[in-house]
Amino acid sequence: MLNTVARNSKNLKTKYGNLRNIVSLAEPKQPKVVTDIPGPRSKELLSRLRNIQQTGSVQLFADYEKSIGNYLIDVDGNILLDTYTQISSVPLGYNHPALLNTFKNEKNIKTLINRPALGVFPGENWPEKLESILQKVSPGLPNLTTMMCGSCSNENAYKNMFIAYQTKRRGENDFSKEELESSLINTPPGAPRLSILSFKNAFHGRTLGALSTTHSKAIHKLDFPSFDWPIADFPKYQYPLHQHVAENSKEDDRCLEQVEDLIEKYKKLNNSVAGVVIEPIQSEGGDNEASPEFFQRLQKICKSNEVYLLIDEVQTGGGPTGKFWCHEHFNLESSPDVVTFSKKMQLGGYFHTKELSPKLPYRVFNTWMGDPGKLLMLETIINVANDQNLLKNVRETGDHLKKNLIEIESEFSHLINSTRGRGTFLAINAKTTQLRDHILDKLKQRGIQSGGCGDNAIRLRPALIFETKHADIFLDSFRNVLIELNK
């Protein structure tokens, strides 16, 4: 039946409504934990995988045939309500019927298996797919480069900023002979000293360029050579926000002054800042948020210094904050110069201004330049999200979650604090790292898959189909864990 629904494209839009119910009906009613986690079967698989690779980060082995909707089911039969969704990368939950149907279509299978070098031999429908899927969700930016993951999206977006910055410096001149030759041996002027300004606790990826702008945890960085690029403080707010307006506004001032000083300092060091990269909410680094005013002022500083502004929406993009892009909450006077994405978007990439589009080919290029198969998945995701008004669902579920988290916080203020975030992209701090880890463990024992970030934050990253009924299961478990810890 589902096949007929999804194949009949005329009816697709109206029928997605039913699909939501079908997911909902197929979902377990609640979590159920039947073994330790990892259970015996997961442990068996772990010891097998350990022969091949480092497995210290593996929490469990999942049964992706059985997992459904908001429920991750593991190989030991544990049924977990998933508020973490593969590090925030699963927008429609598991085994959504519309996604299952995406590849029950011969045309789409052919797109999947005939993966082109998109920069040289794109398929006939590539321009149309970019227009009808990605351009439709563009944050007001005309140009678009597709990639495969968050790190390579940021790395390549940095390259666009470097090119545009040097192009402006160079004016109408061609590359000099000296530039052409020196670039090949990694030295100026062809490989110039230029920098990207980033923020403390930021996370922008783990390849060596992106990693030079990542400062979330030492374990991500130790032993790797790094570019000498400037790092400014990211605001650290006091909560609740409405009780600390003056302090937090001063914090914005302090951090923005640092940005201006660093731009000045690195210019003098002959290592000018070509671009600033920032997350709208710092995710891996602890779900740190900054005010719309902070971002508005940051954009002004960038403009007045002729420095490009890249907003990294790899974790925030695709709807979890209740708007498609988190920075849409900030009322910026114009779009940022670049917006990068990945995770929920399935493929990586970035939207950018015309100015950031290289004038010559092969400057930003690689074999695949993205993946049409992933774009087909994104097409389904966006269609379902539109048809079912999932952003509205995110806002409603998020409001419900946040309101209740604040209540729980006030009840257990000696254990937890600083409820924050937008949509269902929410976090709350535990007093200590140890307590945080303990809460995550206890939640898992009650069938809640959640995640931590920063030193002591619990972060929520549910799918866009996470409803208030799911939120209530989480809230109930969370409260019970705290009651237990309180005894």
Which sequence positions are flagged as catalytic?
A: 203, 312, 343, 367
Sign of CA dihedral 227, 232, 235, 236: positive
For residue 4, state whether it binds a second copy (rule: CB under 8 A).
no
For residue 185, state whether it binds a second copy (rule: CB under 8 A).
yes
**Interface residue with a second copy, options 30, 175, 387, 485 (CB under 8 A):** 175
Q: How far is the CB of 400 from a second copy (least distance, A)?
A: 26
**Interface residue with a second copy, options 30, 32, 227, 435 (CB under 8 A):** 227
Tokens of 171: 């004016």
**Interface residue with a second copy, options 9, 222, 268, 333 (CB under 8 A):** 222
Tokens of 155: 């790395």
Ranges within 50-89 binding a second copy (CB under 8 A): 51-65, 67, 72, 75, 86-87, 89
**Interface residue with a second copy, options 83, 139, 155, 425 (CB under 8 A):** 155
Nearer to a second copy, 86 or 291 (CB): 86
Classified as helix, coil or strand, 240 is coil
Nearer to a second copy, 195 or 288 (CB): 195
Q: How far is the CB of 256 from a second copy (least distance, A)?
A: 19
Ranges within 340-369 binding a second copy (CB under 8 A): 342-343, 346, 357-368
From the list 7-15, 225-233, 398-406, 458-466, the region that binds a second copy by CB under 8 A is 225-233
Q: How far is the CB of 443 from a second copy (least distance, A)?
A: 16
Residue 157 main-chain phi, psi, to 5 deg? -65, -35
- Contact pattern from residue 375 through residue 414 relative to a second copy, giving x for each residue in contact according to CB under 8 A and a dash for the rest: --x-------------------------------------
For residue 226, state whether it binds a second copy (rule: CB under 8 A).
yes
For residue 156, state whether it binds a second copy (rule: CB under 8 A).
yes
Tokens of 204: 């922008």
Size of residue set near a second copy by CB under 8 A: 130
Q: Report CA 239 to chain centroid distance, whole Å.
A: 24
Pairing relationship of beta strands 416-422 and 71-73 according to DSSP bridges:
unpaired
Q: Are 165 and 308 in contact (CB under 8 A)?
A: yes
Nearer to a second copy, 134 or 416 (CB): 134
Q: Are 434 and 469 in contact (CB under 8 A)?
A: no
For residue 111, state whether it binds a second copy (rule: CB under 8 A).
yes
Q: Which residue is listed with tokens 């920069």?
A: 119
DSSP assignment letter at 323: S
For residue 223, state whether it binds a second copy (rule: CB under 8 A).
yes
Label residue 144 left, alpha or beta by phi (over 0 means left) and psi (-120 to 50 means alpha): beta
For residue 415, state whether it binds a second copy (rule: CB under 8 A).
no
For residue 112, state whether it binds a second copy (rule: CB under 8 A).
yes
Ranges within 259-298 binding a second copy (CB under 8 A): none
Nearer to a second copy, 30 or 138 (CB): 138
Q: Which long-range contacts (CB under 8 A, 24 or more apart) does 115-123 make?
A: 115/368, 115/371, 115/372, 115/373, 116/368, 116/372, 117/367, 117/368, 117/369, 118/146, 118/368, 118/369, 118/370, 118/372, 119/361, 119/365, 119/366, 119/369, 123/372
In 3D space, the residue among 307, 306, 305, 252 whose CA is nearest the CA of residue 276 turns out to be 307
For residue 117, state whether it binds a second copy (rule: CB under 8 A).
yes
Q: Are 375 and 134 in contact (CB under 8 A)?
A: yes
**Interface residue with a second copy, options 24, 135, 291, 305 (CB under 8 A):** 135
